[in-house]
Amino acid sequence: MKVHLRMTGCRLNQSEIDLMARQFEAQGHQITDEADQADWFVVNTCAVTQQATSSSRKLIRELHRANQGAEITVTGCYAQISPEEVQVIPGVTRIIDNIGKDTLVEQLTGKPAESFDYEPISRDGRISRTRAFVKVQDGCDNACTFCVTTIARGAGRSRPMQDILDEIRYLEAAGYQEAVLTGVHLGSYGHDLGQSDGLFQLAQAILRETAIPRLRLSSLEPWDLSEGFFSLWQDPRVCRHLHLPLQSGSDRTLKRMLRRTNQANFSALVSAAREAVPEICITTDVIVGFPGETESEFSESYAFIEAMDFAGLHVFPYSKRPGTAAARMRNHVRDEVKKDRSARLIALSKAGEGRFAQRFIGQTFPVLWEQIAGVTQEGFMNVGYTDHYIRVRCIHPRVLTNQILPALLLQYTDHQMQVLPMIEEG
Ligand code: SF4
């Protein structure tokens, strides 16, 4: 069968789609990027905001229009929360909930799927994979009042460490340069297995027992970092990037969100991270217009976020999610106000991102080259990332993809840094 896999939403959804691709291929099926060639569509959906559910619906409709003969299987958080809405979208033949997702390939093909295959990856024309998202846990035991994820994904469950190590060894053998550990609540890795510092132990084991050139941690709740966690960065293979979702810089708003942090704790954590890893890139998520967020709370939040000097923000206007405590709160904020607050924070984010990147102009850093964004008369437009997550590009006569090479940072414009790769031509 020819299978076309699509997703909306987070890195966890991406990691699940990547794993399904490997499982389908291991069983002799073909993954195709051409929707009109596919026999099966699999769509891994998201429901984190109203926008996410609407993008998920739009994607399913587009696929059905592109190829009415293909069967569409829908999984993920939207399918979990609102199966009755998904059911009536034209073309949907099967819905698989988040628990059943782990065996989705088996359910479609009728054959048990390996948790991953051991064959080298030959991706015949598909994007060259340089960075792999490795799912290490699912679910969350927190109770943030805006969040639908706990309803969609259930309680925290960690994958056995040995499984993860095997998967990373496989990725390494297949030529991947970077593994990104992902989870709904990554910092809780191991808690259900009785390890309070499970993520630290997992990262140490990966560094000790595999030779993957780069290890990156995706989003980590600020209350989950144990004392001594930053010692991980003594190993230069650990990417100097922390994404610490703050959600609001106002203690009053954080309380209503039931976030287990406040200004004092968060700023102490950021200071500790910067002291231990001086060039670390720290980014965050912010929700604007949470129910009851007054102008004074927003101003307090803005001032705190500005003081934290983040290297980038993901800004989300609050979106009412059915079944959550926040949806039932009073004093919902008007859309125009949310729009205005978002614009102010996005401008702050852009400035912070530029300031962070410009600090490093004139210095040389290893870059993992990830893809080609185009071809010019002078050569290929190579795009990649430093380990501290500065997006870089250069025009070079060669395709540099999937190599880690030193590059001199030259000039920052429009979210990207121009660099000069330092390559000895032999
Ligand atoms: S930590 Fe909070 S925001 Fe994150 S998944 Fe859990 S409940 Fe949702």
Ligand 1 site-directed mutation target among 81, 184, 260, most atoms within 8 Å of CB:
184
Same domain membership, residue 284 and residue 151: yes
Same domain membership, residue 308 and residue 165: yes
Contact 280, 242 (CB under 8 A): yes
Q: How far is the CA of 83 from the centre of ligand 1 (A)?
A: 22
Range of the domain at 280: 131-358
Contact 201, 195 (CB under 8 A): yes
Q: How far is the CA of 147 from the centre of ligand 1 (A)?
A: 6
Same domain membership, residue 175 and residue 83: no
Domain count, the chain: 3
Same domain membership, residue 369 and residue 337: no
391: domain CATH number is: 2.40.50
Q: How far is the CA of 323 from the centre of ligand 1 (A)?
A: 14
Contact 202, 161 (CB under 8 A): yes
Q: How far is the CA of 148 from the centre of ligand 1 (A)?
A: 8
Same domain membership, residue 57 and residue 205: no
Same domain membership, residue 380 and residue 304: no
Q: How far is the CA of 140 from the centre of ligand 1 (A)?
A: 6
225: domain CATH number is: 3.80.30.20
Q: Which atom of ligand 1 is nearest to the CA of 247?
A: 3
Q: How far is the CA of 185 from the centre of ligand 1 (A)?
A: 7
Ligand 1 site-directed mutation target among 10, 150, 256, 260, most atoms within 8 Å of CB:
150
Considering only CA atoms, which of 205, 123, 208, 107 is closest in space to residue 164?
Answer: 205
Q: How far is the CA of 101 from the centre of ligand 1 (A)?
A: 20
Residue 318, class by beta-carbon neighbours within 10 Å (0-12 exposed, 13-18 middle, 19+ buried)? buried
Q: Could you tell me the two tokens for 252?
A: 């009053």
Q: Which atom of ligand 1 is nearest to the CA of 148?
A: 8
Same domain membership, residue 180 and residue 135: yes
Within-domain flag for 124: no
> Nearest C-alpha to atom 1 of ligand 1 is from which residue?
142
Same domain membership, residue 206 and residue 172: yes
> Nearest C-alpha to atom 2 of ligand 1 is from which residue?
144
Q: How far is the CA of 214 from the centre of ligand 1 (A)?
A: 26
Beta bridge partners of 367: 386, 405
Q: pLDDT truncated to tens, each residue of the chain (426 aa)?
A: 999 999 998 878 888 888 898 889 888 999 999 999 999 999 999 988 888 899 999 999 999 999 999 999 999 999 988 999 999 999 999 999 887 888 899 999 998 776 543 333 333 334 457 899 999 999 999 999 999 887 888 889 999 999 999 999 999 998 999 999 999 999 999 999 999 999 999 999 999 999 999 999 999 999 999 779 999 999 999 999 999 999 999 999 999 999 999 999 999 999 999 999 999 999 999 999 999 999 999 999 999 999 999 999 999 999 999 889 999 999 999 999 999 999 999 999 999 999 999 999 999 999 999 999 999 999 999 999 999 999 999 999 999 999 999 999 999 998 899 999 998 765
Within-domain flag for 154: yes
CA 298 to chain centre: 26
Q: Which atom of ligand 1 is nearest to the CA of 141?
A: 6
Same domain membership, residue 202 and residue 349: yes
Ligand 1: which residues within 6 Å by Cβ?
A: 140, 142, 144, 147, 149-150, 184-185, 221
> Nearest C-alpha to atom 4 of ligand 1 is from which residue?
185
pTM comes to: 0.84
For 1-11, b/e burial (b = at least 16 CB within 10 A) is eebbbbbbbbb
Q: E strands along 301-415, which residues?
A: 313-317, 364-376, 379-386, 391-396, 404-413
Within-domain flag for 115: no
Q: Which atom of ligand 1 is nearest to the CA of 147?
A: 8
Ligand 1 site-directed mutation target among 142, 189, 199, most atoms within 8 Å of CB:
142
pLDDT given at position 164: 96
Same domain membership, residue 282 and residue 187: yes
Residue 209 to residues 114, 161, 167, Cα–Cα distance (Å): 22, 11, 12
Q: Which atom of ligand 1 is nearest to the CA of 184?
A: 5
Q: How far is the CA of 315 from the centre of ligand 1 (A)?
A: 16
Considering only CA atoms, which of 165, 163, 162 is closest in space to residue 207?
Answer: 165
